[in-house]
């Protein structure tokens, strides 16, 4: 049995086209970072576009690839929880399947945990970050993160960048308190990690907006509501 140091997770929902690029690129970068000591877990969340079959075929010919399939839609957060619980590595990480964050940063992400941090996260909002995205997305992101910093007292700048790594044991001890099951998972993990005294490193990344990503009015309302709900839960827990 191979000894696994790094478990990388790709959360996937109807992302067949992106997977054709993401899997070989991931294997190439991971092999450079942890030669022979990594696994690539595809957390496939109820896809109907052939993603499951594609990954299953890849898994059959490459033991470094693992498929975690769900017949029902779990949501991003629950799919990640399931993947991290099943991971074999002492370091776990995940990134978006569209590879919006430049994969050259993957070594920096993993090394930050190797160097003693409990959590490492890429940031699109630090001065040295290099990002390309629409004006609407930029305004919504900056507004959202300002609210998180103000209301939830976070010291981080970008909570939703899909490019994070963790010490697996520390993450698993935190997850029972995390209630978000979809997109807000990223923010709640970072906020609760800070409340629990976790050592977190945030670093600037090169990031490019994927195709077909838009911000709707309902998304903005949902973002604000999620922040207020977490503030209330933390207030009740403290009391």
Rounded Cα gap, residues 217 and 176, in angstroms: 31
Q: Look up 96 and say whether it is catalytic.
A: no
Enter the tokens of residue 143.
Answer: 């507004």
Q: Whose structure tokens read 């569209």? A: 98
Q: Whose structure tokens read 């970050």? A: 129
Of the residues 45, 96, 98, 186, which is catalytic? 186
Rounded Cα gap, residues 32 and 39, in angstroms: 13
Residues labelled catalytic:
186
């Amino acid at each position: 049995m191979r000894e696994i140091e790094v478990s990388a997770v790709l959360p996937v929902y109807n992302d067949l086209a992106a997977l054709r690029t993401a899997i070989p690129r991931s294997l190439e970068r991971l092999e450079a970072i942890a030669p022979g000591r990594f696994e690539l877990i595809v957390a496939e969340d109820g896809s109907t576009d052939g993603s499951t079959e594609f990954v299953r075929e890849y898994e059959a010919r490459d033991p470094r690839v693992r498929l975690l399939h769900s017949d029902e839609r779990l949501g991003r957060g629950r799919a990640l929880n399931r993947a991290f619980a099943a991971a074999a590595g002492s370091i776990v990480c995940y990134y978006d399947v569209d590879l919006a964050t430049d994969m050259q940063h993957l070594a920096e992400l993993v090394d930050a945990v190797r160097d003693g941090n409990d959590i490492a996260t890429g940031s699109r909002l630090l001065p040295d970050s290099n990002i390309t995205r629409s004006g609407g997305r930029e305004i919504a992101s900056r507004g959202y993160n300002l609210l998180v910093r103000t209301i939830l007292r976070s010291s981080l700048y970008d909570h939703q960048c899909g490019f994070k790594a963790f010490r697996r044991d520390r993450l698993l001890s935190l997850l029972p308190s995390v209630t978000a099951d979809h997109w807000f998972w990223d923010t709640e993990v970072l906020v609760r990690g800070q409340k629990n005294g976790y050592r977190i490193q945030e670093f600037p990344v090169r990031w490019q907006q994927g195709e077909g990503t838009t911000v709707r009015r309902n998304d903005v309302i949902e973002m604000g509501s999620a922040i207020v709900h977490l503030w209330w839960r933390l207030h009740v827990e403290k009391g």
